[in-house]
Amino acid sequence: MDKRTFLKTSLLSTASALLNPFAAVLQATSLVAKGFELPALPYAVDALEPYIDKQTMEIHHSKHHQTYINKLNEALVAKPEWAAFTIEKLLATITEQDTALRNNGGGHYNHSLFWTLLTPQSKQKPEGNLAKAIEKQFGSFETFKELFGKEAAARFGSGWVWLVQNPDQQLAIVSTPNQDNPLMTTIYKNFAGTKPLLCLDVWEHAYYLKYQNKRADYVAAFWNIVNWEIVEKRSAK
């Protein structure tokens, strides 16, 4: 190889090395297949008016939730061995070191669940076994709502409030910071076997356009749009 050919070859391989990381990312992305995708809302974007306004719903679903999904898929490129996991399995597997997967995987799961727990045709209160379990645990449905609201008010900054069913079938109200949730059982050992039945997003992006700083008003509005049929089904599973 003369000097000129060597130089040319060397330049070409430098160029190809520069291109290679990009090729590797593309390949890894295709391993994730299509990745996680934004689920459609099970109602029209303005269906929860006046309790959740159309603009909040639009931004919350198509921008916030979509961004969690995009960043989740990006973070999974570095973990091709987890790419085929369900979101539930992924959340149970991650550790405190997996910050991007924790924040964005949690964001995807929490919002996907939250949308299904809302409906414009709420029956306003649970029935059957769930109603009995709530009365047994909290004294009455009214007291349950009050305690849930207190937990929402006490969650400093951003996070979620949950009604969960413990492995012993007891109900409890808990809250988690940021996009954490009870499925993250490697991070939160005390959540092992805990099933989320109902959740409420108390990030300001969930209510600020309509309710500004009045989180309690947003929580009060929430009780008008809870899909209790879904919560009942989740508790019966």
* Residue ranges that bind Mn ion, judged by CB under 5 A: 201, 203, 206
Minimum CB distance to Mn ion smaller for 109 or for 144? 109
- Give CA–CA dist 177/4, Å, rounded: 61
Minimum CB distance to Mn ion smaller for 138 or for 207? 207
- Give CA–CA dist 196/106, Å, rounded: 13
Q: How far is the CB of 203 from Mn ion (least distance, A)?
A: 5
Minimum CB distance to Mn ion smaller for 134 or for 152? 152
Q: How far is the CB of 232 from Mn ion (least distance, A)?
A: 24
Minimum CB distance to Mn ion smaller for 115 or for 203? 203
Minimum CB distance to Mn ion smaller for 32 or for 91? 91
Minimum CB distance to Mn ion smaller for 180 or for 201? 201
Q: How far is the CB of 201 from Mn ion (least distance, A)?
A: 4
Name the residue number minimizing CB distance to Mn ion: 201
Residues sharing a CB contact under 8 Å with residue 135, sequence separation 6 or more, in sequence order: 141
Q: How far is CA 108 from CA 24, 27, 39, 49, 187, in A?
A: 25, 24, 10, 23, 17
Q: How far is the CB of 129 from Mn ion (least distance, A)?
A: 30
Minimum CB distance to Mn ion smaller for 134 or for 206? 206
Contact 234, 195 (CB under 8 A): yes
